Amino acid sequence: MVTSKALSLFDNFNQLTPYAVGFDRVFDNLTRYVDNNATSTGYPPYNIRKEGEYNYVIEMALAGFAREDLEIEVADGVLTIRSVKEKSDDDVSNIYRGISYRKFVRKFTIADDIVVNGAKMENGMLSVDLERVVPEEKKPRLIEVK
């Protein structure tokens, strides 16, 4: 829970840090992150793996789902993975059902410099490939003194 005192602290962040410029967006991203976490359930389980210096992979266990059952969207710094149709429970031949086919929405807050390169579904495991792209203007450079 964010108190009004914390809100005023966020609103006056630039007054607290006179040597930082443009960090007010950081608090917007943190708020979005908290909102995404609050709406998350524990389903489906996932891993986030780092591969090398700039690449990441989100692995999501989706037993029983096919490619056409999933929708992946990237918008405004949020990667959303959702199921688009629910399986029916009409199969009466099941004695026990331990594999869940329920609808889900899982949201990941991603940084501005992260690009989603693609996704693949293989053996019930969804893999989403991410890459950190460092633009030339963010790389270190020397400034000439005139």
Domain boundaries, the chain: 1-39, 45-146
- Cα gap 37→109, rounded to integer Å: 9
40 pLDDT higher than 80:
no
Q: Tell me the torsion sign for CA atoms 73, 74, 75, 79.
A: positive
**Where is average pLDDT lowest: 53-62, 67-76, 85-94?**
85-94
Q: What fold is seen in the domain 45-146? A: Immunoglobulin-like (2.60.40)
**Where is average pLDDT lowest: 5-9, 12-16, 53-57?**
5-9
Rounded to the nearest 5 degrees, what angle is found at the Cα of 95, between the Cα atoms of 68 and 89? 35
- Cα gap 55→100, rounded to integer Å: 30
One-letter amino acid identity for 66?
Answer: A
